A = this chain, B = another copy of it.
């Protein structure tokens, strides 16, 4: 019961609510995970954060700006995932497969967030720098991963990374659309595994065999 007065030496909470901006982003993410994209209205986000429906306008210019922040958070999460996959890439046969499986599993674990990240007609001039930065980090990360595992030049690695990214992205998108769900179809993980194996054949040799 020490009370909740501002304790000295701690930076005071920057807003009335605590940090409403961040709370709104988190509320939006929960709605996405629990109820899907269709349920993601500004008013629902405000409701879940426990503020009036007009409150978000003190932190975001409009709904699109909030969605931008949510998408940026999504890209941050995906970067974490990719990073972890690169670390734990002991089991898969090659690094491409580690990446492919991580991409597929992220899409499967966060389908609505994944859709929001890649699907709204965003990335116009005027998109928040935060989103531009986080979303722009994905491709370089893939390129770096490819270079680490091959003796590729920067240019060669860029081409391979683009094929790899496109393929996994398309596979994930089609799977989320249920386009790959005919009777007896293989699950996304299996497809990702097989497809990256096939792609491995166009890759140059590993830089240094173990």
Contacts and interface: CB of A to CB of B under 8 A. Distances in A.
Interface in A183-200: 191, 194-195, 198-199
Interface stretch (A8-16, A83-91, A115-123): A115-123
Contact of A170 (B112, B139, B165): B165
Instruction: Give the oligomeric copy count.
Output: 2
Contact of A171 (B139, B170, B198, B199): B170
A173 interface: yes
A166 B178 contact: no
Main secondary structure of the interface of A (DSSP, over half): helix
B165 A169 contact: no
Contacts of A169: 170, 173-174
Contacts of A201: 201-202
A34 interface: no
10 contacts: A38-B121, A121-B176, A122-B177, A159-B194, A159-B198, A165-B170, A166-B167, A166-B171, A170-B172, A173-B173
